Amino acid sequence: MPDLTRSRLTPLSSLPPAVPGVSYSAAPAIARLLYRGSDGAVAAGAAFGVALPTQPCSSAIAGDRATLWLGPDEWLLLAPEYETLAVQQAIAAALPGIAHAVVDISHRQVGLRLDGPRAAAVLNAGVPLDLSLKAFPVGMVTRTIFEKAEIILWRTGPVAFRVEVWRSFAPYVMAIMAVA
């Protein structure tokens, strides 16, 4: 899979910092699997190794894997890139006869990390949500928009965020962040 920093897209390292105290970086290449199916959620989480969150807009992490709640029957599963096929096979084996889908969307998305005390302010240049720590606590995740691009926004620390965005929209999102 192409690495964002080596693709034809503008590398994050070439962008100026949006404001002092904010750093950008490309998230490492990982497996991104979209899991759909409510009946087998507990078994799917057990097969994946991380329970699928049942609370809206929440996430769960175990080791190098994470699950992000995207809807009542939809989760984004994140794992090391080399485990893509093994994860799909493990979930399929855990859910015989149960309607579900596990789709590899790794090629479609890239991850961007923003860190620093002004990261929320930079994101608020394009995200119409209250990103204060009280309103958007660590571990919270949601689908939203950044200007006109759909993103998945995940708060990974008090001053750290991860943005999952379609690869084709990444240059647009990065350019708006640079202007912020």
pTM of this structure: 0.88
**pLDDT value of residue 59:** 98
**pLDDT value of residue 39:** 83
**pLDDT value of residue 19:** 63
**pLDDT value of residue 165:** 96
Q: Digits of tens for pLDDT over the chain (180 positions)?
A: 334 444 444 454 555 445 677 888 888 889 999 999 988 888 999 999 999 999 999 999 999 999 999 999 999 999 999 999 999 999 999 999 999 999 999 999 999 999 999 999 999 999 999 999 999 999 999 999 999 999 999 999 999 999 999 999 998 998 888 887
What's the CATH number for 30-104?
3.30.70.1520
Q: Are 71 and 86 in contact (CB under 8 A)?
A: no
Find, among 172, 119, 118, the residue nearest to 145 by Cα.
172
Domain ranges of the chain: 18-28+108-179, 30-104
**pLDDT value of residue 8:** 43
**pLDDT value of residue 16:** 47
**pLDDT value of residue 22:** 86
* CATH homologous superfamily of 18-28+108-179: Probable tRNA modification gtpase trme; domain 1 (3.30.1360.120)
SS (H, E, C) the chain: CCCHHHCCCCCHHHCCCCCCCCEEEECCCEEEEEEECCCCHHHHHHHHCCCCCCCCCCEEEECCEEEEEEECCEEEEEEEHHHHHHHHHHHHHHCCCCCCEEEECCCCEEEEEEECCCHHHHHCCCCCCCCCCCCCCCCCEEEEEECCEEEEEEEEECCEEEEEEEHHHHHHHHHHHHHC
